[in-house]
Structure formats: structure tokens, C-alpha cells
A and B are shown apart, each in its own frame.
Chain A
């Protein structure tokens, strides 16, 4: 095994061939054995393998695009479980975007936010209220529900409204820090949920615990997005934008200030970093990703109610970040995918399997222990184990390494060039 990996290392052609082979085998098995969840999951694993290959980044993006846009929808499309696969893939995408948002707040800026799902709720309700007849209850002007065309604008509006609330919540951050912040955000998350739950009187804005039903599906040029396989592409597009944005932010000036604030607030402040602005920006950007996905979520479910936005959801997103690795973009994507698939597919599959066994009388299996109900137990265990044994997560965050020599050389060259330019000037004079 060791010899094999050492042979593979450095051999790009072999890596490509193996990867393509892997994708081919898994897609073929999914194509032939349609009901097999395993094949679908193995196909998704190819993206992880892709991450570990040593191909140039650009090629990796292209391959990932081909797999996500072409291979997965095509291979899954022929069978009866097509929509359920696409549903899983869509939900994974939504959670990845949210986890990336939380990653900015927790992983990069080091502010523990336990009410993150509130922003998701805000995004969902922003679209939900205006895309149902609900808005007519408190807005005397305008015709509601708005048509599905407005969905595209609402992605932006949801983004901005969530960012606005991020800033509003961020204002207490100015005074509160560390563990108090966790409690304040937890309180905020609960407040938002309770408010949405009770805002059916005196003016009926959110329709209370009944929720908003039959949210208009998105529409473009008369084409309606109704099925998960159609939403999959919307989510993919937003996700692409989110990942690019996160990568850009991470290595920009603001990204470095977030990391500085995370490591030591006082030191960062003394280096001239504006604490308030940096933290507020982290909250706003993290929240905006969540808000966008909230809009998509509302359109996809066509139903919004407060039970989708409980504390458990916030913790789930936190678990994704911790599992994957705080501050690490590929890690968080992996963490979000693992947890979502665990939640949606693995736990229910295992439960069904165990129920089947106990139905056949092979083992007697108490209902109380069914894995589908064990989410809290599993999440709690993941949090403790990772906190103690692997706080850096599955894929630890990497900082770009700069070669000191080449930098020096670079600046030397730069200076030489400048000197040259100057001497040129001198010569001309």
C-alpha cells in the first residue's frame, strides 16, 4: 500500500487515469443499479479524491464542473430515484453554502455564533412572505404573490436583508466577546424563531406556527423550476459564486484581518485593524450566504414554517464546520456534505435496515435506539471527539506558504526595476 501511494505521488497521469476510472466505475454502477445509495455516495466521493490529486487547480475545477454538471445528473437521471438523489445533492449544496458562511464567522474571525440558522430563516421568510399571498395582509399596495420571476431578485434581497440583520446582531458584538457572544447569538436565534412563530398578530406577517404554504416556484422566461433536479442547478450556480467569494475573501486583506482578530484581538487592534468593522463584516458576509440559501430553500420546499429553524439546525451547521476544519474551505465543504448525507441518507437507511431485521425477527431492536433519532447523540459525540483529539478538523486549514528567498529576490528585482526606471529617467534628463 505504502509503495503504491509513493508510486502514485508525483505521477499525474496515473492519478488522472485512476480518477477517470473511478468515476466511470461508480457512474456505471449507479447507472445499472439505480436504487443503490452506495453507488451515488461513491460517485460523490470522486470529488474528494479529486481534491487530493496533484493536478493543477484549473484542471481540478474543470473536472469538478464536469462531474457535478454533467456526470451526476445524467447518470442518476434514468432511474426511479432520480429526484431523491437530486434532492440530496441540492440539500447538500444548501448546507455547504451555509457552512461556508458560518466558517467565515467561526473559522476565520473566531466568533462563535450559535444562532446562525436565524439568517437562513430570514432569507426564507423574505421570499416566503412576498411569494405567497401573505404580503397582501400588511401591504395595501402591490399585487401578491409576486410572480416567480422575482425569485432571482429575491436571491439578492435575501442576501442583503440577512446581511443587514447580521450587522444588527453584530452591534452587540462590539461590547461582548468570547463565550458571551455564543450565548447572545444563541438568544438571538431563539428570539428570531419565537418572533416568526408569533408574528401572526396583531398584524399577520408570518402566519405564525401555521407557516407559509405554496410559495411560488422560481420562473425564468416562462420556465418553472419545480423539481429538485432543476433546483440542483440553481444551487450549484450560487454555490460556485459562494466558493469563489470565500476563496477571494480568505486571502485578501480582510481575510487576514479576520485571522488576526481570531488569534489575538488586542494584538490585532494594535496593528491597526479596525475591530468593529472587521467583525461586522464577518457577520454580514456569513449571514448573506445563509440568506441567499434561505430564499432557495423557501422556493424549493414551497413551504416555510418556524420548525425548520431550530437550535438543532444551528448546531448542525456548527458541527459541519468543526468536523471539516475551522477556517478550511475544502474541509467545510466535506464536513457539510458528510453531515447532510449522514442525516438524510445514511441514518434513515440504517434505520430501515435495522427495522427490517427486527421485523424478520433476526434481532429485537427497540424503537428508542433507532439511528434516525440519534442525531443529537452523534453530533454531540462528534463535537467532543473533534474538540479533544482533532481540533483542526478533517482537512486542516492551510495558509499559503511563501518562499522567503523568491520573495526577497522578487523585491530585489522590483527594486532593480525601479532603479532601472529611475536611471532611465536620469538618462533622459
Chain B
């Protein structure tokens, strides 16, 4: 059994890293908003999904106009990433302005309900725009970066088999690393980042220190949503087919990653995302083997949610978070 697990391990690692990178960036959006507003932005998964659709729509449009063939693919991808992240960023700001800001002083339950509403609204909006334009809401993007690479793990030790990955996986991981480093720099080293941390710590005091709290919250939503939208594009390029309902479960898992890393903690979210991606891929590949065929790969979602529930019960502050005591 161990030999089988070891045999597939390289491929599991590569796939898990790709999936984990996606979780990590989406988890950033959840964790940033939660850090500042103490609100689970349910719509974040849908922003990711909208980003994926905008990206694919742009790629299809560019193919139709012949631009994609005319310019290097990587340039096209960067162009699409930038435009998509700006669009989804503004969408995030709009959502905050319309659906969350009027409720900032009402009970949390109400804000949460509004967030669920936004999430459903977006799903259906994207569904009917896509279906209206193309007759089917499941969309397949133009295939890009399909050349395969092989990492010869088998030359390291004969118990491993080789791992395969596509160029898009490499691009995905590079983009995600760039985004995370940039965000980390922004939050920790710039003036606006300091303002964000201040607002997250204490909104009222921050406003007394002449920080424009509303602007900072808008900025947070912009950055989180822009990152989420860009990840959507990368997801679409990596996995090919998208539908309007991918955002919900993926968002839920990304939230799990954020909780795993300690919610409100940006570096924790990155680590949690990678960890969850690896665990999930490992479970998908080996659950059947480990349980003698009782549980199949279908249970990988159950596995992810079980992690969430276990973390919340036993270590609600997450792996890297600080425990907060509630003040009366």
C-alpha cells in the first residue's frame, strides 16, 4: 500500500500544488475582508467565477478577432489578467457599496444573509448572460499552454513515478507567487497597507487617526476581488471548462483554507490554501487505497469539509492565528 502511495506521490504533489495555489489566492480575499469587517464575504467565490467567465469571454473574443494568433500567448494572458482583475475589483467595490455598507451597523446575521443573496444573484446573472449569448452556460475556453512537461522523479528513486504537468500549471504557480509576494509587500510595507492593518485592528481608533475607513474598506474589497478574478482566469486556463456554479464549492474550500491558516492572517491563508490543496489531492488519490475501498474519491469534498469542521471545533483560531477573547 505504501509503495502505491509513494508511486503516485509526485503527481499528487504537482496537482495539489496547483489546486492549493488557487485556494490560497481565493482564501486571501476571504481573510482580508474578514480581517477588516468580520464578515464572511460569501460572494467572493462568485467573484472568482465571474473572473473566470470574463477571462474566457475575452479570450474567445480575442481569438475571434485574430489577436490571439497575432501576439505571444503570454502577453495575451497578461492583458486578460489585468483587465479581468480591474473589472472584478470594481465589481467587489460595488458589491460592498450596495449590499454590505448599508448594513454595517445591523446584526451580523442580516449582513450574512445579504452576502448569500449577492452570491446567488451573481450566479444567475452570469448563467443567463452566458446562456443568452452562447446557448449553453457551460463554457470551454480556447486551449492555451498545453505543452506537457515531465519531471523525472523516477530518476531520483525508483519507487516514484514521473510527474506530468502542463505549461499552464507553471504559469499558474508563477502568477500566484507574484500576486502573493506583491500583496504581502503592499500590506506590510506601504502606507495604504498600514492603514488596512490599522482598520482591521480597530476601526474606530483608526478613523480617529485620520484614516478614511470607508476608503480603506473599499480598497480591501478591490484588492481581494481583483486577486480572486485573476485567479478565476488562471483556473479557466488550467482546467479548461467552467460553469457558473464552480464558485460556491471552491469558495467554500478556500474559506476552509483561510480558517485553517487562521482567519484574518494573510500569510496563514497562503499556507492554509497550499496545505488544503495538497491534502485534498492526496485524499482524492489515496482515500480508496487507505480505507480498502470503503470510501472513494467522491469523498474528497467531505474530507475538505471535515477538516473545516475539525479545525473550527478544536482550534478555531487556525494554525497560525491568535486566539481572540471576546470583550463584553
Measured between C-beta atoms, what is the minimum distance from B289 to chain A in Å?
14
Q: Name the CB-closest residue of A to B310.
A: A172
Measured between C-beta atoms, what is the minimum distance from B107 to chain A in Å?
8
Is B328 at the interface (CB under 8 A from chain A)?
yes
- A377 touches which of B109, B121, B326 (Cβ 8 Å): B121
- A318 touches which of B38, B106, B113, B299 (Cβ 8 Å): B113
- A374 touches which of B38, B117, B128, B302 (Cβ 8 Å): B128
CB contacts (< 8 Å) of B73 on chain A: these are none
9-residue interface stretch from B189-197, B208-216, B232-240, B290-298: B290-298
A384 touches B308 (CB 8 A): no
Given the complex of chains A and B, what is the CA–CA distance between A281 and B121 in angstroms?
A: 33
A380 touches B296 (CB 8 A): no
Measured between C-beta atoms, what is the minimum distance from B171 to chain A in Å?
31
Q: Name the CB-closest residue of A to B130.
A: A368
Given the complex of chains A and B, what is the CA–CA distance between A308 and B117 in angstroms?
A: 21
Q: Name the CB-closest residue of B to A189.
A: B305
Given the complex of chains A and B, what is the CA–CA distance between A197 and B298 in angstroms?
A: 9
Given A176-B312, A183-B40, A377-B120, does the pair A387, B110 have CB atoms closer than 8 Å? yes
B293 touches A178 (CB 8 A): no
| Total contacts A-B at CB 8 Å | 142
Measured between C-beta atoms, what is the minimum distance from B93 to chain A in Å?
16
Is B119 at the interface (CB under 8 A from chain A)?
yes
By secondary structure, the B interface counts as: helix
Is A110 at the interface (CB under 8 A from chain B)?
yes
Given A369-B132, A387-B103, does the pair A202, B117 have CB atoms closer than 8 Å? no
A194 touches B308 (CB 8 A): no
Given A184-B309, A190-B301, A191-B306, does the pair A387, B124 have CB atoms closer than 8 Å? no
Given the complex of chains A and B, what is the CA–CA distance between A304 and B314 in angstroms?
A: 35
Question: What is the size category of the interface that chain A forms with chain B?
Answer: 35 or more
Measured between C-beta atoms, what is the minimum distance from A336 to chain B in Å?
17
Given A178-B108, A194-B299, does the pair A183, B118 have CB atoms closer than 8 Å? no
CB contacts (< 8 Å) of A186 on chain B: these are 252
Q: Name the CB-closest residue of A to B128.
A: A368
A377 touches B316 (CB 8 A): no
B103 touches A379 (CB 8 A): no
Q: Name the CB-closest residue of A to B120.
A: A380
Q: Name the CB-closest residue of A to B291.
A: A202
A198 touches B132 (CB 8 A): no
CB contacts (< 8 Å) of B120 on chain A: these are 315, 376-377, 379-380, 383
Measured between C-beta atoms, what is the minimum distance from B146 to chain A in Å?
31
Q: Name the CB-closest residue of A to B244.
A: A376
CB contacts (< 8 Å) of B309 on chain A: these are 172, 184, 187-188
Is B241 at the interface (CB under 8 A from chain A)?
no
CB contacts (< 8 Å) of A342 on chain B: these are none
Measured between C-beta atoms, what is the minimum distance from A187 to chain B in Å?
4
B113 touches A377 (CB 8 A): no
- B128 touches which of A106, A266, A373 (Cβ 8 Å): A373
Q: Which 8 pairs show the lowest CB-CB distances between chains A and B?
A: A383-B117, A380-B120, A380-B121, A368-B131, A187-B305, A377-B124, A387-B114, A384-B117
Q: Which B residues are closer than 8 A to A by beta carbons?
A: 38-40, 98-99, 102-103, 106-114, 116-125, 127-128, 131-132, 135, 248-249, 252, 255-256, 259, 293-294, 296, 298-299, 301-302, 305-306, 308-309, 312-314, 316, 326, 328
